[in-house]
Amino acid sequence: MGLPVGRLILRRFADGEVHVQIEESIRGRDVYIIQSTCPPVNENLMELLVMIDAFHRASAVRITTILPYYGYSRQEKKATGREPISAKLVANLLTAARADRVVSVDLHTPAIQGFFDIWMDHLSALSLLTEYLRSVRRSDAVVVSPDVGRVKLADKFSRALGLPLVVLHKRRPAPELAEIGLVIGDVKDKAPIIVDDMITTGRTINESVKALLDAGAKPEVRVAVTHALLLGPALDYLKNEAITEVIVTDSIPLPKEKRLDKIRVLTLADLLAETVRRLNRNESISALFGA
């Protein structure tokens, strides 16, 4: 955007409490705070809430929080009794802290937009990922949804790339565990492109690759996701020789020790910059996505 980053000091007191000091006047200004609530999730979320409060008390005219990755997004419903809906709780916290607008990228479930009583803009990295995949597109490729919950997302990829769609039926015997029970579609002698919103532990990707190879797919699998959490055994799973490339965005900072040679990181900077420009000028955000 050609603008300097705002100046502030963020530190911890001896007991771990977050303290923020804004180092310039922001009275009457339009403020945009960019903070992914990725691991450490609670630390980053609390930092964000304290920053919002500081900017509000410093008389910012409008505060927009940009969360490239929305933490707690997988807890958007009650799967069993006596569970929280933590994604809604986070929306309440951001509202209570007096954010005026929230922007996020590829929510785990789009319905989370409805949790907010303030303005909420849901961006997509679809065009960014498909633009890259189009440059390496193969005639024998197929787009693969790792479970039925990602069919709509995978269908958008298949339409954008002009490729067939394959769906895997996934079961979760326990949290963070995945089993693939059925491959729906033809993958024999095909090069799969597995698409999802995030890679957490990598178990879903690992099981998906096994199921695809067992069904006759070529050991030339690409994986395309927006959010690369890469926790626990994820890197070991991604080292599988059948996975030739993993395409992710920088919605979550990826340290050097996690940057495998096969991981390609695409930046969201242009998308977020244009979003900020349009919000500041009260222009359409949906026009960014052809709507």
Q: Which residues are designated catalytic?
A: 170
- Indicate the Cα dihedral angle 121, 205, 195, 131, nearest 10°: 100
User: 3-state DSSP call for residue 150?
Assistant: helix
Which DSSP string corresponds to 15-48?
TS-EEEEE-S--TT-EEEEE----SSHHHHHHHH
248: left (phi over 0), alpha (psi -120 to 50) or beta: beta
Question: Chain centroid to CA 28: how far?
Answer: 31
Closest Cα to residue 267, out of 254, 280, 286? 254
Residues 28-32: contacts with CB under 8 Å, at least 24 apart: 28/59, 28/60, 28/61, 29/60, 29/61, 30/60, 30/61, 30/62, 30/64, 30/280, 31/6, 31/55, 31/60, 31/62, 31/63, 31/64, 32/64, 32/66, 32/276, 32/279
Reply yes or no: is the peptide bond before residue 164 cis, omega within 30 of 0.
no
Of all helices (H) and strands (E), which one includes residue 98?
none
CA distance 249 to 230: 13
The SS3 assignment for 223 reads strand
**C-beta atoms surrounding 124 within 10 Å:** 17
